[in-house]
Structure 1
Amino acid sequence: MDTTPKIKKTPQQQASMDQQSTQSGAVVGSNDTLLTDILLRLPVTSILRFKSVSKHWYSLLGQKHFTHRYDTHSKSPGVFARDKYIPFDAEDPNTPPVDTLSSYIDSFTSVRVLQSCNGLLLCCTDQWPKIRKSGHKYYVFNPTTKQLALIPSVLGGLKARKTIRFMGLAFHQTDCAHYKVVCIRNVLSYVESYQVQVYSSDTREWKISTESFSATKPVFFGQGVYWKGAVYWAPYYENSDHLYFKIDAEQAEQQLGTLPLPVGLTSSKIMTMYFGESRGHLHLILHMDRGDDSLLLNVYEMLSDHSGWFVKYQVQLGELLGAFPEMVSEDRYDFKVIDVVRGEEEGDSFVVLKTSKRIITYNVHDKSFKLVLSFAGHSYEGSLVFHRYTETLSLF
């Protein structure tokens, strides 16, 4: 029992302490620099709630300078499988409470995520027979702020909508603050001839960027990745073309280029296991039939001048077999790389893996791993495509 005598404050002392506390709060509240430094350390849910404190706080928290600084330190707390959100840490209360995208976009229609780009999601309706009649509807959605925008139909009417091969999002606080949507459609169905249209959230209009271009090989316009002013497509299967499209290039001959591969490799010898961007870094993981070495992954990073690749991480997944034996089946690897997530500190970087039974994260530095989800009883088991969620306060 605490027998220390309690010192009772006089009304004058209590009033003095209350006054000092009020004065300290006033000093912080009147100093935007100090207030900003404090608010930057709060979770995103608190930031959104504090916008309603006052008009001054609403203005301060909505400034591009603040959102840019906050997004610089933002984290990637989970992924979307189909339209459902899976947090990397189910016990973290700061992850966004987005159970399904359909509840925000169209509760009467199936919704599919096409791409994740620096906190924004490009989604489309995915339900027949509506698609056959009018084509997909496309939306840009910010899961952090719950802001939603319907993208107008591409130029060319229903005929053009039925020839769309790719729809991709371009967004970044520094080089593409007004998001853009890139559409690639077939011009002629019997040859590899395409047209490029670009939608800008600034003008709210579509514009034909490239009337037509031809590819020498088939192009897999699947998971396009935006990085430093361009959309990139990796070679996902043998003898495919691997292109990039510079969005703001003024001349047609400057818009399209070929993505280089790591030195010594050709697209006929590899398949892409993972291709994506994190914290300003473009990553590539390739799979080659190397027998016992199939559990050794080279995580390549693109050089800042776009000229080539270097090995950023070597990840030996054989160390996980004891805990996750399903990673190898019939003497072959049986897992997918869902994501490569760079942490704010280098030691916090990790890869996200999907086995036939589970989703796990694996730290590339200290080799620790964490179970994210067991598939038993969940509908995620058959999902082939996952999309990262990144917190962003940006409004559009």
Structure 2
Amino acid sequence: MRNTKGKLEICWSAEIIASNLDLLTEILLWAPAKSLLKFKCVSKRWHSLISDPKFCISHARFQRMLNRTADALMLSNGYKSTPEFHLVPLKHSTKVPFFDYFNVSEVKIIHSCNGLLLCCCKLMLDKPKFVKTTQMKNDGLCEFRYFVCNPTTKEFKILSPPKPTYLSLSLAFDPLISPYYKVVCICKGSSSKQEFQIDVYSSETESWSLLPILFEMPLGMTYSNGVFLDGSVHWYSYAETSLYFHIDSQSVKKMPMPFMFSWEGMDWDIMYFGESRGHMHLVLTKNRSSLEFDVFEMEFEYTGWSLSYHVNLQSMRLMFPELTWNFMNKHAVFSVLSVIQGEKDEEKKVVISVDGRAMSYNLCDGTSIKICDLEPRPRRSEIARVPWHYEGCQAHPYFQSLVSV
């Protein structure tokens, strides 16, 4: 009798939840995006609720506050022959399906932002046609196409071409700010070779808008690796200052670089520039073969960079003697894929690529663990002695999301 009574109470509770749309919505907000895709098969009502764009953005906002650490790092493959990407899991065994639904053979990730990816693909042109975004390849013409995709839902949208004189594209999306994303493009100004402009694509209007502002870039500014944080896209440079673009005010502003860049910026190697849980990080070294580097963090309201950690990977070398550190080429010793800001300071870590492995180094206690093996990147040429290392600019944070593109 007790078992029968207990089963009846469970069924009765389940019916109450299923019949109460508000309660069901609150419960489903806690579920990961991939689980919700499976839950669509439960009933027509669940399918309708989970497919509702309002629920999708509410889920993205809730998960953005609940899980601010990426599930994994997607490693850009440098236009590998098949559209698949290697993953470095940060939480658990995360898998992303092949990007075969693009129906193209060569795809490259340019930027990632809170569950969405900005990608580029090469399409061979059947008929010769000259366009500014066309390059020669294997005695044939190929054209670049850009699109934004959600790797969780497999949705993607092809963007209209940016200005022919574009230099870089960066994705800007924060569900806590807006359900719409934007693509920020740096392009050359029409009046001077030293002046540049910002062209912005909005998913709300599905169009580009060229801003009337003109600006000059600081010395050695790397405009290809933008970092989106607090409503702005940031770029680093090897000068005393760099730039960031504030999207809402549509203004280009100056951002300081670490103090040593004012007199010896070009002597430093910027190994990583990115953000995690609202913190912007910069990793610098003078010589990778020393196995030492510094981790800087941007201070409040861009008042400067503070040195957070000085790291020496000799402890990792001793803990994992099987690792091979290639000291013949200082740029191939190791690379920093990401700086991960944990919920607590003692959980802060750096993800390292060395000897075909992804390693995690705890910045607080200096301990190291192996995350996974890495597939070798394609070599630059057949005469290259060693495969490329993955660099920080090729590691893109992956978040599960239901948002529509």
* TM-score normalised by length of structure 2: 0.78
Equivalent residue for 1:21?
10
Per the TM alignment, residue 125 of structure 1 is displaced from its structure 2 partner at its CA by 1.4
- Secondary structure of the residue aligned to 1:395 is coil
Aligned partners of 1:170 and 1:176 also within 8 Å: no
- Secondary structure of the residue aligned to 1:25 is helix
Q: Deviations over 1:164-196 (max 9, x none)?
A: 211111111123431001111223597222221
Equivalent residue for 2:225?
223
Equivalent residue for 2:327?
329
The one-letter code matched in structure 2 to 1:17 is G
Aligned partners of 1:336 and 1:354 also within 8 Å: yes
For the structure 1 residues 347 and 115, does the alpha-carbon distance in structure 2 shift closer, same or farther, using more than 3 Å as the test? same
Equivalent residue for 1:4?
none
Task: Say yes or no: does 1:143 pair with 2:151.
Answer: yes
Per the TM alignment, residue 120 of structure 1 is displaced from its structure 2 partner at its CA by 1.0
Aligned partners of 2:76 and 2:108 also within 8 Å: no
Q: Deviations over 1:334-353 (max 9, x none)?
A: 11111122334554443221
Task: Say yes or no: does 1:232 pair with 2:228.
Answer: no
Match 2:188 to one of 165, 178, 186: 186
Aligned partners of 2:227 and 2:233 also within 8 Å: yes
Equivalent residue for 1:157?
none
For the structure 1 residues 172 and 84, does the alpha-carbon distance in structure 2 shift closer, same or farther, using more than 3 Å as the test? same
Aligned partners of 1:343 and 1:349 also within 8 Å: yes
Distance 1:172 1:150 in 2: 20
Task: Say yes or no: does 1:388 pair with 2:394.
Answer: no
- Secondary structure of the residue aligned to 1:329 is coil
Q: Deviations over 1:31-71 (max 9, x none)?
A: 56764565455443212211343455446545233321123
For the structure 1 residues 271 and 190, does the alpha-carbon distance in structure 2 shift closer, same or farther, using more than 3 Å as the test? farther
Which has the higher Rg, Structure 1 or Structure 2? Answer: 1
For the structure 1 residues 307 and 54, does the alpha-carbon distance in structure 2 shift closer, same or farther, using more than 3 Å as the test? farther
Aligned partners of 1:352 and 1:359 also within 8 Å: yes
Q: Which runs of 5+ in 1 are unaligned?
A: 1-8, 155-159
Match 2:269 to one of 268, 271, 292: 271
Match 2:73 to one of 67, 70, 78: 78
- The Cα RMSD (Å) is 3.2
Match 2:284 to one of 283, 286, 295: 286
Distance 1:198 1:147 in 2: 22
Shifted more, 119-128 versus 201-210: the winner is: 119-128
Match 1:153 to one of 158, 161, 167: 161
- Superposed, 1:253-268 pairs within 5 Å as 255-266=251-262, 267-268=265-266
Per the TM alignment, residue 110 of structure 1 is displaced from its structure 2 partner at its CA by 1.2
The one-letter code matched in structure 1 to 2:62 is R
Q: Give the length in aligned residue pairs.
A: 366
Per the TM alignment, residue 296 of structure 1 is displaced from its structure 2 partner at its CA by 3.4
- Secondary structure of the residue aligned to 1:233 is strand
Aligned partners of 2:72 and 2:88 also within 8 Å: yes
The one-letter code matched in structure 2 to 1:68 is R
Equivalent residue for 2:119?
123
Distance 2:378 2:329 in 1: 27
Aligned partners of 2:198 and 2:211 also within 8 Å: yes
The one-letter code matched in structure 2 to 1:370 is K
- Secondary structure of the residue aligned to 2:85 is strand
Distance 2:354 2:169 in 1: 28
Per the TM alignment, residue 287 of structure 1 is displaced from its structure 2 partner at its CA by 1.8
Aligned partners of 1:76 and 1:341 also within 8 Å: no
For the structure 1 residues 213 and 68, does the alpha-carbon distance in structure 2 shift closer, same or farther, using more than 3 Å as the test? same
For the structure 1 residues 22 and 85, does the alpha-carbon distance in structure 2 shift closer, same or farther, using more than 3 Å as the test? same
- Secondary structure of the residue aligned to 2:42 is coil
Equivalent residue for 2:106?
110
- Secondary structure of the residue aligned to 1:305 is helix
Equivalent residue for 2:40?
51
Report percent identity of matched pairs: 30
For the structure 1 residues 316 and 106, does the alpha-carbon distance in structure 2 shift closer, same or farther, using more than 3 Å as the test? same
Q: Which runs of 5+ in 2 are unaligned?
A: 78-82, 127-133, 136-140, 380-386
* TM-score normalised by length of structure 1: 0.80
Equivalent residue for 2:362?
363
Q: Deviations over 1:308-351 (max 9, x none)?
A: 22234443322111216433615957111111223345544432
Distance 1:189 1:289 in 2: 40
For the structure 1 residues 134 and 144, does the alpha-carbon distance in structure 2 shift closer, same or farther, using more than 3 Å as the test? same
